Amino acid sequence: MKALMSLGALIGVAGLLLLGGMVFDVVPSTTIRLVEGYMPIQMLLEVACYVIGFTGLSYIMGAMGMAIPRFWQGIGFWVFLMLYLKFRVYPPIPFSVRAMYGTVGLVTVFMWVSANEEDWNKFKQPIMNVLDAQTGMKRLLRYAYLVAIPILVGGFSFNAMMPKSEEPIELRTVHPAPPASTKVHGKTYTLQTSQNPYRVNPEGKYDQEFSNANIVEQGMGRLMKPNANPWDDKNQGYLKYVREGGEIFFQNCHFCHGDNLNGRGLHAFAFNPIPANFTDPGTIAQLQETFIFWRVAKGGIGLPNEGFPWASVMPPWEQHLTVDEIWKVVLFEYWHTGYYPRTWD
């Protein structure tokens, strides 16, 4: 048990040193990389490692007769969480999300330190000591808090109320609900039932399973499947259409959406917000193919009321591309990102 706890303590110390380095900008946040494709679970595992580390540290310190008071354990864990979110995770997390996590952190720390009477008494003891102010030092501290807390609250209120020069926060609806149908080049498409005419098997029939088997693999590398290279001239049918879609994409779309389809094209950072990142699991992977068809055809100007504040400069591509070209480019986007279009069956 002691050996395990010592190992935990070692992890805890190493973790704290690393985090300290990141806070003081001695160690870059990217020292331990967040690996694409595994980032979300990696972050949770890292925090779990810290918790194991803190358990070990607490145990060892207790065994050495230098137990950390419960009050400081609670405060310390919350401070750690905030520092981790601010300095470890990159790119930077917006304040609104850190505030949400911070509040959850506070609540959970409270739940932990007050889960039973013994812990709760231990936690509140330092607070009660200051409030009781039996010694001169405690009395001094009490007066200091009496002055400092209103000043702090006042300072926060002042900061919150002070007019700011930065642009206001926007609650943008990135994927507004589409219309039931859309008319492109004189033909009406029902979004719930229409299909991409180029998502076909060698027999020429609509076949999503066939196309799914030929898209690139997700995760690290995004490798093409064997014998599924659209740029092989011998390939016909689905892969040929993917190639044609790719050509259209690189002639028209990649300037903004990027050659990796990650929204970081040549012109991307001239726009705010930058163009959609198709490799994110929350964009085309969440949507029906017909939704993409509608968005490409109608562009930013065709966004419905719900798409407020209509922050999209994408042109209505129906003015530049044929219906077939739009379907092919949509086909290519799904193939390249390795995502499957959403279906409802």
Partner 1 sequence: MGLLAGKRVFSIMALCMMVGLLLLPIVVALPSPAIGGDAPAGDAAKKDGDKVEKGRDVYYKTEGIVVGAPAPKTTDGPKDYPRYNFESRVLLWFANQQHLYYGSFVLAVPIFCMIIEFMGVVTKDKALAKRYDQLAYDFIKISLTAYSLTAILGGILIFTFLTLYPAFFSYLSGIFRPVMHIYALMFVAESGTLYIYYYGWDKMKEGFLKWIHLSMSVILNVIGTLLMFLANSWIGFMMSPAGVDEQGRYLGNIWHVIHTALWNPLNLHRILGNMAFGGGVVAAYAAYKFLASKTDEDRAHYDWMGYIAMALGVAFLIPLPFAGYWLMREVYAYRQQMGITLMGGLLAWLFIIQATMIGILFLSTNYYLWQAMGRMRGAEKYQRYIKYLVFILACGYMVFITPHTMVMTPAELKAMGGQQHPVLGNYGVMSAKNGGINVIITTTVLSFVWYMRGNKVSTVSWAKFGNIFMGVFFACAYFNIIFLAVYGYYIPANVRVGLSVPQVATTLSCLFFMFALNSVMMKGAKQMGPIEWGKISARSQYALIMLATAFTWMMGLMGYIRSSVRLFWHVNEIMRDNSPWAYTHTVGFAANMISANVLFFWISILFVFWLGSLTAKKVPVESRAGIPGSVPQPAASH
Task: Tell me which DSSP letter residue 266 carries.
Answer: T
Among 20, 94, 150, 202, binds partner 1 (CB under 8 A): 94
What is the pattern of x (binds partner 1, CB under 8 A) and - over residues 223-262? Answer: ----------------------------------------
Query: What is the footprint of partner 1 within residues 198-227 (CB under 8 A)?
Result: 208, 212, 218-219
Residue 325 tokens, joined: 């070209």
Return d(Cα 217, Cα 289) in angstroms, integer. 19
Nearer to partner 1, 147 or 180 (CB): 180
Task: Give the side-chain half-sphere CA count within 13 A for 306.
Answer: 7
Return d(Cα 227, Cα 210) in angstroms, integer. 13
Return d(Cα 197, Cα 330) in angstroms, integer. 11
Residue 96 Rama label (left phi>0; alpha psi -120 to 50; beta): alpha
- Binding to partner 1 by residue 117, rule CB under 8 A? yes
Nearer to partner 1, 192 or 251 (CB): 192
- Binding to partner 1 by residue 341, rule CB under 8 A? yes
- Binding to partner 1 by residue 82, rule CB under 8 A? no
Nearer to partner 1, 65 or 168 (CB): 168
Identify which range of 14-22, 61-69, 86-94, 134-142 contacts partner 1 by CB under 8 A. Answer: 86-94
**Cβ contacts of 158 within 8 Å, gap of 6 or more:** none
Return d(Cα 316, Cα 294) in angstroms, integer. 10
Query: Which residue shows structure tokens 């509140």?
Result: 124
Among 116, 159, 236, 319, binds partner 1 (CB under 8 A): 116
Residue 235 parent element (H or E)? none
Phi and psi at 193, nearest 5°, equal -120, -15
Query: What is the footprint of partner 1 within residues 275-304 (CB under 8 A)?
Result: 276-277, 280-283, 285-286, 288
Nearer to partner 1, 101 or 145 (CB): 101
Nearer to partner 1, 173 or 235 (CB): 173
